[in-house]
Amino acid sequence: MLGRLSAESKTRPDASIRRALFVAALIVCWMLAISVRLVYLQISDHDRLIGRAQRQQQFVLDTEPERGQLLDRHDRELARSIQTASMFVDPAEFERPGDIACVATRVASVLKQDQESLVNQLTQARDSGRRFLWLARRLSAYQTGEFRGLGLPGVHFRTEPKRFYPNGSLAAHVLGFVGLDGVGLGGVEQIYNEKISGEAGKLFFEKDSSGNAYESFELPSKPGQTIVLTIDQSVQYWAEQALGAAVRRSRAKSGTAIVLEPNSGEILALANAPTFDPNDVGAVWPEARSNWALQNIYEPGSTFKIVSFSAAIEKGLVTPEDRIDCQMGAITIAGRTIRDHKPFGSLTIRDALAKSSNVAAIKLGLRVGDDSMHEFITRFGFGSRTGIELPGETPGLLRPVKRWQASSIGSIAIGQEIGVTPLQMAAAFGVLANDGVRVAPHLVREIRTSSGTNLYRSNPEQRRVVTPETARALRRMLEEVTLNGTAKLAQLDGYSAAGKTGTAQKIDSKTKTYSKTKHIASFVGFAPVENPAVVIIVVIDEPAGAYHGGDVAAPVFREIAEHTLPDLGIAPDTKLNLESHQVAQAAPSVQSPKVAKAREQRTRVEDARKATLPSVARRDGTGREIIYAVASSRAILMPDLRGQSVRDVARACAHLGLQVEARGDGHVIRQSPAPGTELGSGQVVSVDFGRGN
């Protein structure tokens, strides 16, 4: 029996072996499954898992690039970026019950915010699992120091560039401004935003399982390109000063002044009043940010007469010395009677323009004809955009000939039934100043990389409008306007000048007829007459009291021109200037009345200039006081700015060509460099403002 059992046990597999084999098989299958899963995860699902891990472990911030500079034609800074601190919070780091209330209380007290609203924002951010929430952008140095010293839980700082305009409101409508997110919202900042902005970088934070950052690395941003403008900082300053004073003096609604270089089309100054400070855009109404130089359409009035006179001379219908019957100041066109401002009989074409005869302009328009008149209007650039590198330009209003009425030729010849912009009108006079060739007006001279490599140089479109002979004839005729016509107040000290006044009635919004009380006064001129260096237009909207262009706008032209021409190195071309200089050097007591008047005018202008600037001065070899005298051929004496307001400092440093880095508000309490230090043009000076005693 025992032998039989032993034999059977030898022939049956052992149960333990079977179990072992079963377990081994399970292990092998499990390992195969794990291997297959690992292969799948490592190969097929690799990218998704890596991304998920990075989202859990990394926190990424886009770093704003430094915007490119905006420079004037002499490479003086008009806009640049400065580094500031911005503050954000990671709600996941609120570990204690009172953290939210602590942060909200401190932030609200420093930034003058609503504490309850801030608590709600922080609570919602924490409950929703958000890891990032801005608390404040681009803090002042004082605010940054306050918050850093508090050591608030979950609060972090990052450096962000902030747009800074060192000259305050200077050229504000040209430069534009930048929004909180670093996007250009007006002017050149908007048009060239993509080029100026640069390329954003990235800042990566590595975090542990508790959400605490333990390592970071950054992909650096690329700075934006530099835009070199045609604007001359000094010319812009004087244009703004003269225009602003005229608008205040005449209690006008607004005003515009443009200084154009006719042979290149470069705009040296473009000013609007009222204006604004792009460093503090929120402090003004949106209307103050409108660029009336290219957005405001107005009926030009008599300044438009250059088109009918040019067309008639160009077509050989008249010469400047031909005579024309002005019919004692009245003419009837298609049942509509149009009158002169005073009755004139027979005048030469030259005198008719000088005396601004409506009758003469209408008669010339009738000789030219509707179709040819429309052609010349478009040749001069009216009815289409100039292409200036600024947003919002309007083409003006010019109806096609088929929509003209029987009396339209009479209205258009004297600047009615047509809408133009100040920029279009300046460019049209630029045609006459440039021997009949129209050069497209433009504001951008160069575009450079951040390292200084030139990427673009302006090459504006040019086209001939009238012959050189016609242009020169009109220049001499327009000179008569300043010598014997309606613009005697536009005569310059030391320079010949030519131009045309305009006094246009505005359309009453209620009656839809011409208003008897609302006018637009304008003057467009150029100097010197034989070889014009600048074209200047001044438009004053709704002046109170005196409203004629010759009384309101022409003196502004004179003030701008008398500062601009010497700054540009243009030599005087009239006898009065030479006589004044010689007599002043020889014997001041025997000056002629004209010379005495000229010297009195120069003294008045110089005194007005001194009144806007801090009183640091020297005297030259003749004993004449020079504001901010040059200490050497390339140095300027640093003025004493202490006690000055922000606006006064901006004006003074703009005049000197210095760049201001301002901190705080109120009046100057500290400055660097010290007063009397020799500075180079374009150097940055630091100024601290405060409201303490």
The enclosing domain of 665 has a CATH number of 3.30.10.20
Q: Which of these, 449, 390, 458, lies nearest to 69 by C-alpha position?
A: 449
User: How far, rounded to the nearest angstrom, does the alpha carbon of residue 223 sit from its chain's CA centroid?
Assistant: 21
The answer to whether residue 154 sits within a structural domain is: yes
The answer to whether residue 55 sits within a structural domain is: no
The answer to whether residue 196 sits within a structural domain is: yes
Cα distance between residue 538 and residue 502, in whole Å: 10
Statement to judge: residues 270 and 323 lie in one domain? yes
pLDDT number for residue 172? 96
Statement to judge: residues 310 and 356 lie in one domain? yes
Among residues 178, 210, 228, the one where a domain terminates is 228
Within the chain, how many helices (H) and strands (E) appear?
A: 23, 29
pLDDT number for residue 582? 42
Statement to judge: residues 118 and 214 lie in one domain? yes
pLDDT number for residue 612? 39
Statement to judge: residues 179 and 30 lie in one domain? no
CB 293 within 8 A of CB 333: no
pLDDT number for residue 244? 95
Query: Using only C-alpha atoms, what is the Rg of the chain?
Result: 36
Among residues 228, 249, 280, the one where a domain terminates is 228
The answer to whether residue 51 sits within a structural domain is: no
The ranges of the chain with pLDDT < 70 are 1-14, 41, 45, 51, 53-59, 61, 127, 129, 131, 141-142, 205-218, 575-636, 647, 651, 654-655, 657, 676, 680-682, 692-693
- Distance linking the first and last C-alpha atoms of the chain: 123
Query: Tokens for 185?
Result: 């919202």
pLDDT number for residue 491? 94
Statement to judge: residues 141 and 255 lie in one domain? no
β-strand partners of 82: 162
Q: Which domain holds residue 75?
A: 60-228
Statement to judge: residues 453 and 433 lie in one domain? yes
- The total number of residues written for the chain in this structure: 693
Q: Which of these, 507, 477, 499, lies nearest to 411 by C-alpha position?
A: 507
List % helix, strand, coil for the chain (3-state, nearest 5): 40, 25, 35
Query: Tokens for 579?
Result: 């006589």
pTM, entire model: 0.73
Cα distance between residue 310 and residue 373, in whole Å: 10
Statement to judge: residues 430 and 535 lie in one domain? yes
| Integer CA distances (angstroms), 33 to 20, 28, 38, in order | 20, 9, 8
Statement to judge: residues 90 and 26 lie in one domain? no
Cα distance between residue 544 and residue 248, in whole Å: 10
Statement to judge: residues 276 and 362 lie in one domain? yes
pLDDT number for residue 619? 33
User: How far, rounded to the nearest angstrom, does the alpha carbon of residue 288 sit from its chain's CA centroid?
Assistant: 13
The answer to whether residue 52 sits within a structural domain is: no
pLDDT number for residue 66? 84
Statement to judge: residues 120 and 269 lie in one domain? no
The answer to whether residue 50 sits within a structural domain is: no
The answer to whether residue 648 sits within a structural domain is: yes
| Number of domains composing the chain | 5
Q: Which of these, 564, 681, 677, lies nearest to 633 by C-alpha position?
A: 681
Statement to judge: residues 360 and 397 lie in one domain? yes
Statement to judge: residues 521 and 630 lie in one domain? no
- Asked, as a colleague might, if the bond just before 286 is cis with ω within 30 of 0, I would say no
CATH number at residue 274: 3.40.710.10
pLDDT number for residue 444? 97
The answer to whether residue 54 sits within a structural domain is: no
